[in-house]
């Protein structure tokens, strides 16, 4: 790319080609599996087949040539530091120690490394763990009954109770009792596999006492923090580098710390580089998935159809370890009352321990699980009142100046009217109710809408606590390096940073180099999660670039150097002066007050807003639901790169449509029974309807060029729109997803076909 | 420690049959779409006999008396695009076009599907309904086996240890024969069937005089539904559909697995079979 002329148009708001695009589509990009260190060995993991028990020891088959192959065998006894994957709480071990508790099927018990992958697999098969089996928990109800105790006395990892407009339950119930109508429902949403195209993959090597780990990940500093504890070393003794990463969706937020620990331990014992790339079945079986959830919801309205009270009680299955569950639950409860005006709300959330493999981060992070219930409830209100679903939502929507369930007064950048209007304007007439397919199947069609919001960035005071930093430096060749730990996991972060930096510096995008993140060379910008990379870190990069530009221009004036910023940069480097670099730390916008004790106040600096319309067609012979149309209108503040933003919205939408109709993790006695791409169904392009995307831009004054989060929000709403549409088509309620054909078939007695 | 696997790619059928006779335990590879999926989980075979694009067994040619002969090496792409198959033996063309996705269709072969004989093999109910015959060859000679007698159990066939599948023969269909095919899978592409069915229904003077109804994914092998075939004989369209629905009750015993439930398979199979008759044009 040739540098553009000074004063050329800004790149923000244009679809600059992906900086990493050519390398990826030509196969030049090197993923972890493509990387090799000299003499690298391959690791494999000995896993539990038992959901709950005590590890008594291992039997090693002497039929495998342990000595001749040099195969190393690593157990918890080989861990130099603390045996834990440090994240929120110190409860998850890296390897179950002998005498310790096995908490789930496919939990890591021991590790092997051998010169070839085939040998490593053979060695793994030659290890038989001895486990004393204990009774296990597979349902949320069994967890709450707490006859078997997995965590504390009550198996509850975390609970929240958020009250608004009342102080006590009796007061709340009195308000509900006074309502004209109370709509009650129970809603169930299932686990979901991220199904990133690149499986979990990591390689480690020790050189001169220092551990170097490279791999597929979202959050290098999360891995860094976990490795310091596990390896018992200081911050400079371990270096974490991200390799080109083929998707994350939250699935590479916590688990990479586990895999990094495993390769680090193996490399330490083998005294050589060791890599592990999971097979797909192993990845599906052992790594985190979206939390299954069950939500009871009461919606109390007065005779005029105004909401007088909202009552939510959500339970999530956290699986065998706490991991990120408290934070997922937090985001779930903070969105649970929905983007609707209501003076009195009560939101309760609990996340419980079971013997499923730990559930964890997945795009939307708890909000999709609580959005589905409230949008089914609002739909039922529309049916009850005979009111147009979009008009009803427009009538009740939160707007600027209204207060949320945490009593946050909404300030700038509230796009509720804009997204609802966008959907209304393109809705057109609903599909014809009844029809016959070419093959003779009778058909019923229906339409569903939904309206939703998603907080961008970390919750409450989270961003202030994270204090994300980024650095911009002037480097040789008249170029500028952006150093941030935010990772490009396919979502376009590198390109987005390039555009923001290019505009802030007023240089051609080709002069901006976004360095590959590693914990030695880039500051901690916070994790690549929570729809925060553009809004928060992008904003930091923007400020940092402006400071560098100011300093460079000042230096030019001082030294009588003229020309554009690239020329100044060149002259600066050639002058031999010390590196000109600036580090900027995130500063929360003014007036953000959050009370962690009562869970009230400004839950998020800003919300994205979304509305969705879905038309479906149900085949009454096969009970399959076909998506005819899906329109999403999303308020993103500002689309830094419209094609990338559109891609984010389309991808998140398809993931949500799959979650609604197809994706079903089959757990049998705690084991994922469908751990293959053949049977763990995610949608293909053939399953996708034409996805219509409307980008709404209601600028956020504290985001770069007005941008706010976009990564997660598209995931939140479509599932409810699908369920609303299927309910409309068949005249009966669908309150559980996935709405598999088997579920539709089982509902035939409830159909009220028009 | 790593076992070595022998590999041979013969130049012609004679050479292939000689290798097959000498090494009956070797894995026979056609398009590889099934074998590659299970490669990491299964024991490494002693040898692989690679028949991909073996000359002389991939063509689609017209047979005696108006029939069609589809070489075992023909791919789904070739079968799905063949105008003769689409016109006169449409269930096979429709099955071919819904197998996997384009990449799978370009590699997967009819012979592979017949040889693997999975209960969810997508072409197999079509072969049953179309009354196909399977031609096999060995160094001992050639023989033909009616497809109705081909499957002997779960993934077992009438193929002898020294034989290779050479072709499927599709006989011409009698005038007035209506054809139908449906696949119900886990999604719209790259999908394993939950239920599939194929039908050949002959109608004379407004009544069904003969019917072959075949279902897949509802038993340990693709099956014909004799109860339905008998029940519909002599009935007009609407009555045949009702009789077929009634005859389907209890006719199959599908299973619960990770892809679907027995009750769903049973119900959808009943719906599809009834629809084959009511939907005849």
pLDDT tens for residues B235-248? 999 999 999 999 99
Q: CA dist B191 to A300, A681, B74, B108, Å?
A: 44, 9, 21, 14
Mark whether A620 and A679 lie in a shared domain. yes
Kind and range of the H or E run holding A284: helix A280-286
The pair phi, psi for residue A26, each rounded to 5°, is -95, 0
CATH of residue A716: 3.30.365.10
* Mean pLDDT in residue range A336-362: 98
DSSP 8-state symbol, A604: S
A122 lies in some domain: yes
Q: What does the pLDDT average to over B14-42?
A: 89
The pLDDT assigned to A9 comes to 66
pLDDT at B14: 98
* Residue A631 belongs to some domain of the structure: yes
Is A438 found in the same domain as A338? yes
Once rounded to an integer, what is the mean pLDDT over residues A512-518?
98
B188/A684 Cβ within 8 A: yes
> What is the per-residue burial (b if ≥16 Cβ within 10 Å, else e) of A741-754?
bbbbbebeeeeeee
Residue A592 reports pLDDT greater than 90 = no
In a domain, A367, yes or no: yes
Nearest residue on chain B to A439, judged by CA atoms? B279
A17, A187 contact by CB (below 8 A):
no
Domain match, A114 and A263 both: yes
- For A496, other C-beta atoms within 10 Å of its C-beta total 28
The residue with tokens 């009511």 is: B278
DSSP state of A214: E
Lowest-confidence pick of A599-603, B41-45, B192-196: B41-45
Q: Which residues of B touch A749 (CB under 8 A)?
A: none
CB atoms within 10 A of CB A677: 15
One domain, residues A576 and A542 = yes
Closest alpha carbon to A526 in A538, A542, A512, A513: A538
pLDDT class of B5 with cuts at 50, 70, 90: confident
Decide if B188 and A742 are in contact by the 8 Å CB cutoff: no
Residue A675 has a CB neighbour count (10 Å cut-off) of: 22
Q: Cβ B268–A745 below 8 Å, yes or no?
A: yes
Lowest mean pLDDT segment, chosen from A57-66, A108-117, A458-467? A458-467
- Looking at residue A297, its pLDDT comes to 98
> Residue A2: which pLDDT band, with cuts at 50, 70 and 90?
very low
Are both A684 and A540 inside the same structural domain?
A: no
Q: A338-362: b or e for each residue (b if 16 or more CB lie within 10 Å)?
A: bbbebebbbbbbbbbbbbbbbbbbb
Whole-number pLDDT of residue A3: 41
From chain B, pick out residues whose CB is under 8 angstroms from the CB of A685. Answer: 189
pLDDT level of residue A145 (50, 70, 90 thresholds): very high
As a whole number of angstroms, the distance between CA A610 and CA A694 comes to 10
The pair phi, psi for residue B217, each rounded to 5°, is 70, 15
pLDDT tens-digit map of A551-587: 999 999 999 999 999 999 999 999 999 999 999 999 9
Please report residues of A whose CB lies closer than 8 A to that of B180: 439
User: CA-nearest residue of chain B to A117?
Assistant: B2
The pLDDT value recorded for residue A4 is 42
What confidence tier does B281 reach under pLDDT thresholds 50, 70, 90?
A: low
Q: What is the pLDDT of residues A279-297, one digit of tens each?
A: 999 999 999 999 999 999 9
In angstroms, the CA A710 to CA A536 distance is: 12
Q: How many CB pairs under 8 A join A and B?
A: 74
Q: Which two tokens stand for residue A711?
A: 């990564």
Instruction: Please state, rounded to an integer, the average pLDDT across all residues of chain B.
Output: 95
Query: Would you call A624 and B2 a contact, using CB atoms and an 8 Å cutoff?
Result: no
Q: Which residue of B has its CA nearest to A667?
A: B258
Contact A441, A620 (CB under 8 A): yes
- Looking at every residue in chain A, the average pLDDT score rounds to 96
Chain B CB contacts of A66 under 8 Å are: none
Query: Are A562 and A475 contained in the same domain?
Result: yes
Domain final position from A286, A301, A324: A286
Q: How many CB atoms lie within 10 A of CB A68?
A: 8
pLDDT grade, residue B40 (50/70/90)? low
C-alpha A309/C-alpha A301 separation (Å) is 7
Q: Which residues contact B43 (CB under 8 A, 6 or more apart)?
A: none
Per the CB < 8 Å rule, is A687 touching B187?
A: yes
Q: What pLDDT is stored for residue A754 in this prediction?
A: 86
Query: Do A714 and A602 belong together in one domain?
Result: yes
Q: Are residues A381 and A422 in the same domain?
A: yes
User: How far apart are alpha carbons A342 and A381 in whole angstroms?
Assistant: 15
Q: Residue B264 is nearest to which of A119, A674, A741, comparing CB atoms? A: A741
Retrieve residue A314's tokens.
């959500």
pLDDT for position A747: 98
| Least CB–CB distance from A622: residue in B40, B184, B263 | B184
What whole-number distance in Å separates Cα of residue A708 and Cα of residue A538?
10
The whole-angstrom separation of Cα A160 and Cα A140 is: 17
Chain B residues near any Cβ of chain A (below 8 Å): 1-2, 37, 40, 101, 180, 182, 184, 186-192, 194, 258-261, 263-264, 267-268, 271-272, 275, 278-279
> For residue A674, which residues of chain B lie inside 8 Å, CB to CB?
258-259
Of A286, A310, A332, the residue that ends a domain is A286
With respect to residue A148, please indicate whether it lies within any of the assigned structural domains: no
Q: Do A679 and B190 touch (CB under 8 A)?
A: no
* Contact of B193 with B217, CB cutoff 8 Å: yes
* Mutate: best of B105, B188, B215, partner A, most A CBs <10 A: B188
Percent of chain A with pLDDT over 90: 97
Judge if A130 and A240 occupy the same domain. Answer: yes
The question of ipTM being above 0.90 is answered as yes
- Give the helix ranges, DSSP H, for A506-639: 539-559, 565-574
What three-state secondary structure class fits B55?
A: coil
The strand pairing partners of A310, in sequence order, are A299, A345
Among A617, A667, A745, A747, the residue to mutate for chain B (most B Cβ within 10 A): A745
Distance from CA of A623 to the nearest CA of B (A): 8
Decide if A171 is inside a domain: no
Residue of A69, A279, A684 lying closest to B187 (CB–CB): A684
3-class SS at A455? strand
- As for how many domains chain A has, the answer is 3
The answer to whether residue A424 is domain-embedded is: yes
Domain's final residue, options A585, A619, A648: A585
User: Which helix (H) or strand (E) is A134 found in, with range?
Assistant: none
Check whether A13 has a pLDDT greater than 60: yes
A663 plus A728 within the same structural domain:
yes
pLDDT category of residue B38 using cuts at 50, 70 and 90: confident
CB-count burial class (<10 Å; 0-12, 13-18, 19+) for A521:
middle
Distance from CA of B62 to the nearest CA of A (A): 29
**CA atoms within a 13 Å half-sphere pointing along the CA-CB vector of B65:** 6
pLDDT for the residue numbered B3 = 61
Strands (E), A48-121: 53-60, 72-74, 101-102, 108-114
> Domain residues for A70?
33-134+194-286
Q: What is the mean pLDDT of residues A92-112?
A: 98
Q: Which of B4, B187, B217 to mutate to test the interface with A (most CBs of A within 10 A)?
A: B187
Q: Is the model's pLDDT at A731 over the cut of 70?
A: yes
Token pair belonging to B270: 């009943």
Instruction: Label residue B141 exposed, middle or buried (CB < 10 Å: 0-12, 13-18, 19+).
Output: exposed
Look at residue A121 and tell me if it is in a domain: yes
Domain contains A225: yes
Q: Which chain A residues contact residue B268 at CB under 8 A?
A: 621-623, 741, 745
Judge if A616 and A730 occupy the same domain: yes
pLDDT tens for residues A418-460?
Answer: 999 999 999 999 999 999 999 999 999 999 999 999 999 999 8
Provide residues of A within 8 Å CB-CB of chain B.
65, 69, 116, 118-119, 122, 279, 439-441, 621-624, 662, 666, 673-674, 677-679, 681, 683-687, 741-742, 745-746
Q: Which residue of A has its CA nearest to B37?
A: A678
> Strand pairing partners for A202?
A215, A276
What is the spatial order of strands in the sheet that A606-619 belongs to? A434-436, A442-456, A606-619, A625-635, A691-696
pLDDT category, A8, cuts 50, 70, 90? low
CA dist., res. A486 & res. A526, Å (int) = 7
The structure tokens listed for B281 are 């044009």
Please name the residues in contact with B263: beta carbons below 8 A apart, sequence gap of 6 or more. Answer: A742, A745, A746
Residues of B in contact with A439 (CB under 8 A): 180, 182, 275, 279
- Report the b/e string of A307-323 with b at 16+ CB within 10 A: bbbbbbbbbbbbbbbbb
Contact call for B192 and A118, based on CB within 8 A? no
Q: Is the pLDDT of residue A621 over 80?
A: yes
pLDDT in tens, A63-96: 999 999 999 999 999 999 999 999 999 999 999 9
What is the structure's pLDDT at A590? 86
Backbone angles phi, psi at A474, to 5 degrees: -85, 125
DSSP labels, B163-186 = -EEEEEEEPPPPTTEEEEEEEEES
If you ran DSSP here, which 8-state letter would residue A439 be given? Answer: T
Residue B267: its chain A contacts at CB < 8 A?
A: 745
B240 interaction partners in chain A (CB closer than 8 Å) = none
Residues A664 and A743 in one domain: yes
């Amino acid at each position: 790319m040739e540098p553009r002329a000074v004063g050329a148009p800004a790149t923000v708001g244009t679809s600059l080609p992906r900086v990493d695009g050519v390398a990826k589509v030509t196969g030049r990009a090197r993923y972890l599996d493509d990387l090799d260190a000299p003499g690298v060995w391959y690791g494999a993991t000995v896993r539990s087949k038992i959901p709950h028990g005590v590890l008594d020891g291992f039997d090693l088959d002497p039929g495998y040539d342990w000595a001749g192959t040099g195969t190393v065998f690593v157990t918890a006894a080989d861990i130099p530091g603390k045996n834990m994957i440090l994240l929120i709480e110190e409860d998850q071990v890296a390897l179950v120690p002998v005498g310790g508790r096995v908490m789930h099927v496919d939990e890591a018990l021991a590790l092997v490394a051998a010169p070839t992958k085939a040998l490593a697999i053979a060695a793994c098969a030659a290890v038989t763990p001895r486990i004393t089996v204990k009774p296990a928990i597979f349902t949320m109800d069994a967890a709450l009954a707490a006859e078997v105790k997995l965590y504390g006395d009550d198996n509850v990892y975390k609970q929240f109770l958020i009250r608004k407009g009342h102080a006590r339950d009796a007061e709340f119930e009195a308000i509900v009792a006074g309502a004209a109508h109370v709509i009650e429902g129970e809603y169930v949403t299932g686990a979901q596999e991220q199904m990133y195209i690149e499986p979990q993959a990591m390689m480690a090597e020790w050189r001169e006492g220092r551990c170097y780990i490279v791999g597929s990940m979202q959050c290098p500093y999360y891995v860094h923090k976990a490795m310091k504890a596990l390896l018992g070393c200081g911050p400079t003794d371990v270096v974490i580098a991200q390799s080109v990463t083929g998707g994350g969706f939250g699935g590479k937020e916590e688990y990479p710390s586990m895999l990094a620990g495993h390769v680090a331990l193996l490399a330490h014992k083998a005294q050589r580089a060791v890599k592990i790339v999971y097979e797909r079945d192993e990845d599906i079986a052992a790594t985190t998935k979206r939390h299954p959830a069950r939500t009871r919801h009461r919606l109390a309205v007065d005779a005029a159809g105004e909401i007088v009270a909202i009552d939510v009680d959500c339970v999530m299955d956290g699986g065998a370890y706490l991991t990120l569950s408290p934070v997922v639950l937090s985001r779930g409860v903070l969105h649970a009352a929905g983007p609707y005006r209501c003076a009195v709300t009560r939101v309760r959330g609990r996340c419980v321990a079971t013997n499923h493999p730990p559930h964890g981060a997945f795009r939307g992070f708890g909000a999709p699980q609580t959005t589905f219930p409230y949008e089914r409830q609002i739909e039922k209100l529309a049916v009850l009142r005979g009111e147009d679903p979009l008009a009803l939502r427009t009538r009740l929507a939160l707007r600027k100046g209204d207060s949320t369930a945490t009593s946050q007064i909404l300030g700038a950048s509230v796009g509720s009217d804009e997204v609802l209007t966008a959907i209304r304007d393109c809705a057109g007439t609903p599909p014809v109710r009844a029809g016959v397919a070419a093959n003779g199947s009778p058909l019923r069609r229906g339409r569903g809408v939904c309206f939703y919001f998603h907080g961008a960035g970390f919750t409450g005071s989270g961003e202030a606590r994270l204090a994300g930093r980024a650095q911009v430096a002037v480097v040789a060749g008249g170029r500028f390096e952006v150093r941030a730990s935010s990772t490009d996991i396919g979502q376009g972060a590198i390109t987005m940073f390039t555009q923001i930096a290019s505009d802030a510096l007023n240089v051609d995008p080709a002069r901006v180099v976004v360095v590959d993140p590693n914990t030695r060379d880039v500051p901690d910008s916070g994790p690549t999660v929570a729809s925060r990379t553009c809004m928060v870190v992008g904003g930091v990069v923007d400020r940092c670039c402006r400071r560098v530009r100011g300093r460079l221009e000042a230096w030019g004036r001082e030294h009588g150097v003229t020309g554009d910023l690239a020329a100044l940069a060149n002259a600066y480097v050639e002058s031999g002066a010390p590196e000109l670099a600036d580090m900027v730390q995130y500063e929360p916008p003014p007036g953000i007050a959050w009370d962690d004790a009562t869970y009230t106040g400004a839950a998020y600096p800003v919300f994205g807003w979304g509305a969705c319309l879905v038309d479906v067609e149900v085949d009454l012979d096969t009970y399959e639901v076909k998506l005819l149309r899906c329109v999403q209108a999303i308020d993103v503040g500002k689309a830094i790169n419209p094609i990338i933003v559109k891609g984010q919205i389309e991808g998140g939408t398809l993931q949500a449509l799959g979650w609604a109709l197809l994706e079903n993790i089959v757990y049998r006695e705690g084991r994922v029974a469908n751990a293959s791409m053949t049977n763990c169904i995610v949608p293909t392009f053939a399953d996708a309807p034409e996805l219509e995307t409307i980008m709404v831009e209601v600028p956020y004054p504290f985001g770069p060029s007005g941008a706010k989060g976009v990564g997660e929000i598209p995931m939140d709403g479509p599932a409810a729109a699908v369920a609303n549409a299927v309910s409309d088509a068949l005249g009966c309620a669908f309150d559980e997803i996935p709405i598999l054909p088997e579920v539709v078939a089982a509902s035939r007695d409830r159909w009220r076909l028009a | 420690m790593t076992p070595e696997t022998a590999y041979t790619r013969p130049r012609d059928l004679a050479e292939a049959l000689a290798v097959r006779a000498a090494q009956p335990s070797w894995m026979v590879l056609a398009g590889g779409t099934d074998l590659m999926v299970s490669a990491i989980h299964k024991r490494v075979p002693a040898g692989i006999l690679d028949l991909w694009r073996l000359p002389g067994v991939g063509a689609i040619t017209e047979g005696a008396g108006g029939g069609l002969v589809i070489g075992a090496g023909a791919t789904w792409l070739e079968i799905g695009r063949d105008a003769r198959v689409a016109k006169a033996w449409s269930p096979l063309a429709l099955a071919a076009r819904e197998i996997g996705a384009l990449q799978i269709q370009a590699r997967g072969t009819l012979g592979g599907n017949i040889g693997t004989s999975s209960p969810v093999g997508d072409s197999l109910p079509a072969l049953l309904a179309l009354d196909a015959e399977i031609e096999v060859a060995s160094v001992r000679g050639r023989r033909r086996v009616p497809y109705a007698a081909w499957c002997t159990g779960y993934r077992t066939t009438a193929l002898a240890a020294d034989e290779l599948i050479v072709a499927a023969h599709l006989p011409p269909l009698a005038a007035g024969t209506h054809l139908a095919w449906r696949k119900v899978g886990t999604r719209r592409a790259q999908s394993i069937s939950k239920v599939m069915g194929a039908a050949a229904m002959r109608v004379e003077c407004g009544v069904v005089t003969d019917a072959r109804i075949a279902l897949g994914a509802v038993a340990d092998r693709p099956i014909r539904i004799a109860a339905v075939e008998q029940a519909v004989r002599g009935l007009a369209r609407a009555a045949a559909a009702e009789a077929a629905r009634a005859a389907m009750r209890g006719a199959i015993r599908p299973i619960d697995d990770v892809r679907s439930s027995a009750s769903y398979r049973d119900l959808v199979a009943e719906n599809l079979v009834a629809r084959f008759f009511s939907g005849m044009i």
